[in-house]
Structure 1
Amino acid sequence: MNFLMEMEIVRAVLSVSELNRSAKDLLEQAFPLLWVSGEISNIKCYGSGHWYFSLKDANAQVRCVMFRDKNQYLDWQPRDGMQVEVRALVTLYQTRGDFQLSVETIRRVGLGTLFEAFEQLRARLGKEGLFDTDRKKPLPSFPKQIGIITSPAAAALHDVLSTLQRRMPSLPVVIYPTAVQGTGAAVKIAAAIQKAVSRAECDVLILCRGGGSIEDLWAFNEEVVARAIAACSIPLISGIGHETDFTIADFVADIRAPTPTGASQFVCPDSEELLHRAKALHGRIQRAMRQSNETRMQNTDMLACRLIHPHARIDEQLAHLQRLRERLAGSWQRNSESRYWRLRELKQRVTVASPDISRLIERQHELDLRLRRAFAGSIQTLVTGLQRQQANLVHLNPAAVLERGYSIAHTADGAILRNSDQIGIGDTIRVTFANGWSRASVTEKGG
């Protein structure tokens, strides 16, 4: 808040609500999310699911609230007197004006270091490829002997043995005893794994223990155990803690089971289930054999029906040949009759269509005579017309006119004179006679 805002607040009269709201805003802006350590005191869990408690040390305490949407993910129950670390937001409860912490998450003191070590080891081993899927070994479908690496006093061992006894009573089990908790447990677990590998008497190994806190399960987060699992040549399945518990051993193992009982269910099939499957397969085989026999019997009956004595077979073929002969004879007769009637029909049509030669010759002579007459008449008509045209030509021939004493006058440019207006006095004209021509000069003309 700047100086001008401070002066404005000093001059103004604030209500209690405004004061608390301003104080809440100042606290939340001034303090980011931070970790606070202390001892839990006077914790109360209400039916709403919210937790209210105080966090204190030797000299002070602060009220805390952890709402249901935050605490539902916690896998342990805080109690009075526990030393914890909370990640919280510094705020103010406006209604009462109480200074408090709104807790986002909570962890027991020391677990932060364990979680950090867990994440660092997991990252380093992951980079080395110890968690890669391609290095995982498949579990045998029907192991001949199973090895269990755990503490003989562990309740998980009893659960695993009970499950194996129920699922496959005849399956041999070898127990490799080792401490699974406490100082030096990790080295002992690694030694037990190496011992199982060196003896090579089992087809699959189960590494298991019951649930517990992160400290209880920490031996399975040690690098020496992870290296031993990675170097194990026998398929190994881990069943450590509860389903929500994860350890480094779970990541390195060939298969992770949610619980020790789940691990025992992974490694061997259920004998009752196998018996049920065997019965089902036996029933299927019986049905298949019965159906196959029935099919073969039906085929045999069909072949027996088709099997005929050779003499009967010959008689049947002779009868068939007789039927074919009769059909051939009938077909030949019908074909011959059809062709006979067709020939008769064609003969009648030829008879009806044959020409009368004498009549045609007579008709030809008649037509020849008519043609000659028509040709002669046509020639006569043409001659008569030609003579008439010739007479007209003679009558209209200018030379004939000239023979009668007439002449034709032409102008100097050769035009025939038909009018006196075509020439003038002194013009020279050409006069054509029946025989020859002459030039004349015009000395006089009249209209």
Structure 2
Amino acid sequence: MSSGRITYTVSQLTGLVRAAVSASPALEDVFVEGEVSNLRMPASGHLYFTLKDAAAGLRCVCFRREAQRIPFHPENGMRIVAHGRVDVYDSEGVYQLYVDALEPAGLGALALAVEQLARRLSAEGLFDPARKRPLPVLPRRVAVISSSSGAAVRDACTVIGRRAPGVGVVVVPTIVQGEGAPAAVVLALDRAQRLSGIDVILLVRGGGSFEDLMAFQDEQVARAIRGCAIPVVTGIGHETDTTIADHAADRRAPTPSAAAEMAVPAAIQLRDEVATRAARLRQALRQEVAVKRRRLDAARERMARVSPDRRVPGMRQQLDGRAQQLRAALLRELGAKRRRLDRAAGRLELASPVRRLPAEREGLRRRAQALEAAGRALVRARRAALDGSRGRLEALSPRRTIERGFSVTLDAASGAVVTDPGQVAPGQRLRSLLAGGEVESEVVEGGSGGEASTP
């Protein structure tokens, strides 16, 4: 082998490859079309998948920030176009595409992406009918968002001018087709709702192909419509065209002209409506007055029948009779209460503590004397019993037994009383209690014939 060869580590060689890839401008901005496989969407929000065709596969990663901007949900088997840059993943030594944008490949995939977005926004409640606002009955000023050069804005303004000449119209121009159209429409909606005195907004566009209407299939446009502070009426394309913006709007019209008719009622229709309602109101008022007059007449008749002038004499006589009954009842009740009070006073006098005090004091004195005598007798009896117990106790005391000439022998070690020769053994130390003191001795021979020596 040549001594001048160069040997790389795996990391060094991977670094060389990465540097070569990074130095290639063609790999910094690439579009790749293929079929999605091995799709993974972990909780981190990143997307990992492989783009493949019949001959090769390319690993791809789309980080969370870029993945959140993708307008559809990739699925295994879907053909897509991915945009990004190619770089080398050092840990595994493989190259992969770092994706910053995805779009479906072909019209079928594009329609699928729109359908997915519509289902997701509907599940979120963005199209809920309960969130849609009513249109004003008589708008004073209307904002029309559309291309300034298109036929849609001219049709809408013509219809408004013909139906209600007094309604003000403000055109908010925007592009309605192309890559920047969604952002432009969102900006136009924001400008329109900031204008002074706007009561309703028309978002209109003429007909076109499915791809031409993609600006109105955008999630941000739908959210801008739903978040607008002013009611929005859409008139996009032809009658057969329905976009996500139509679902998000407060009202949807099949064409721009129909949107203008829906937002602004015709003046002649308003006059007819006012006249019709006025006639109905007058008829209702006449009927209400007639009903009230009949009720008033009936009330007058009832009042005449129950007039106070006709009822006062009888009521006065009833009042006099009730007053007499009340006085008699009060006198009876007063006499009964006085008699009950007299009886209670007599009982109270009989039960007075002042009258019972001398007898109670004498009884207490007698009970105190009896208690004192009983106590003295009990003390004498207890003292006699105690003296007898003391005599018996002294008679049985071991000390008295010793004083009469007897002795008590104890084991010198344990202090236990020795009552039988069998309790001792030769060499055992004994202690004898005598009347004049104690004597210690040692057993020379145990048993009944044993002898004890005294040291």
Q: Return the TM-score normalized by structure 1.
A: 0.40
Q: Which has the larger radius of gyration?
A: 1
